[in-house]
Amino acid sequence: MAEGHVTSHIEHGINTIEFFHPQSNSLPGKILERLAHEIHFAGTHDDTQLIILKSGGDRTFCSGASFDELAAIKTTAEGTHFFSHFAHVINAMRKCPKFIIGRIQGKCVGGGVGLAAAVDYAIATNKAEVKLSELAVGIGPFVVGPVVERKIGTAAFSALAIDANMWRSTDWAKRKGLFAEVHESIQEVDEAVDRLANTLAHSNPEAMAAMKKIFWKGTEHWDELLHERAAISGRLVTSDFTKNAIAKFKAGK
């Protein structure tokens, strides 16, 4: 429990993948690695018609990269390796031939915004504010940038990335296209997720796979691109500026 978990459960063609970490569903390398594995497996599993991606708890959907792991990075190679985990997850979601529904029950920060942008259809509560906080600790949303920009456009992505301390409302996120639906409560979100999941579970798998290829057209080079972006973050995370900013954040200053 202290290190969090990733679970996968298949029922009636619906594969529900859940991640959890006690620190506001942050993402250490092990959880990212497991997420990429489970998404890839679900994409190749004949019993899976579609995927629901969710996180545990009822407050924060995902608070992004684990600050404990960021603070422990000593070299550029270690930093690149850590941020490559985000690249692996996004690329697994991109290449998965099954639709992925995102159940967004709370706030999304940094890499959490990237996850919300990488699902094919996001259903959120009205408390699911978003923030790209990377610049505030001296890095930048390099790895998640392409998937966020693809979903909400360059202008909205730039606004999020530049004003790294500002929360954007759920209404803003829906207007920009990050969320497909917004509901008043988690119960209503779950009802909407179940409705869509049950519909898609009875839809033509070949048609959905072909649609997904069309939706993600133009991203075929992302295997290389996202790893190049991981190298940028890997270099910056070892700088004195970033080390000091992360230390201040962890100290609550």
Compute the distance between CA of residue 147 and CA of residue 70 in angstroms, rounded to an integer: 22
Structural domains of the chain, ranges and CATH numbers in brackets: 5-201 (3.90.226.10)
pLDDT tens for 135-154 read 999 999 999 999 999 999 99
The pLDDT-based confidence of 3 (bands split at 50, 70, 90) is confident
**Residues contacting residue 185 through CB under 8 Å, at least 6 positions apart:** 125
Mean pLDDT score, 52-79: 96
143 closest CA partner among 18, 17, 27 = 27
Instruction: At 157, list the tokens.
Output: 């992505």
H helix runs in the chain, sequence order: 29-44, 67-72, 76-95, 111-118, 145-152, 154-162, 170-176, 186-201, 205-215, 222-236, 240-250
pLDDT tens for 182-220 read 999 999 999 999 999 999 999 999 999 999 999 999 999
pLDDT at 1: 46
pLDDT tens for 80-98 read 999 999 999 999 999 999 9
pLDDT at 74: 96
Q: What three-state secondary structure class fits 84?
A: helix
pLDDT tens for 105-131 read 999 999 999 999 999 999 999 999 999
Backbone angles phi, psi at 129, to 5 degrees: -70, 160
Looking at the predicted structure, is the pLDDT value of residue 252 above 90?
no
pTM attached to this predicted model: 0.96
Instruction: At 155, list the tokens.
Output: 């202008």
The pLDDT-based confidence of 235 (bands split at 50, 70, 90) is very high
Pairing of strands 60-62, 100-104: unpaired
Looking at the predicted structure, is the pLDDT value of residue 253 above 80?
no
Contact (CB, 8 A) for 221 and 67: no
Q: What is the CA radius of gyration of the chain?
A: 17
pLDDT at 2: 63
pLDDT at 251: 83
99 closest CA partner among 189, 239, 214 = 214
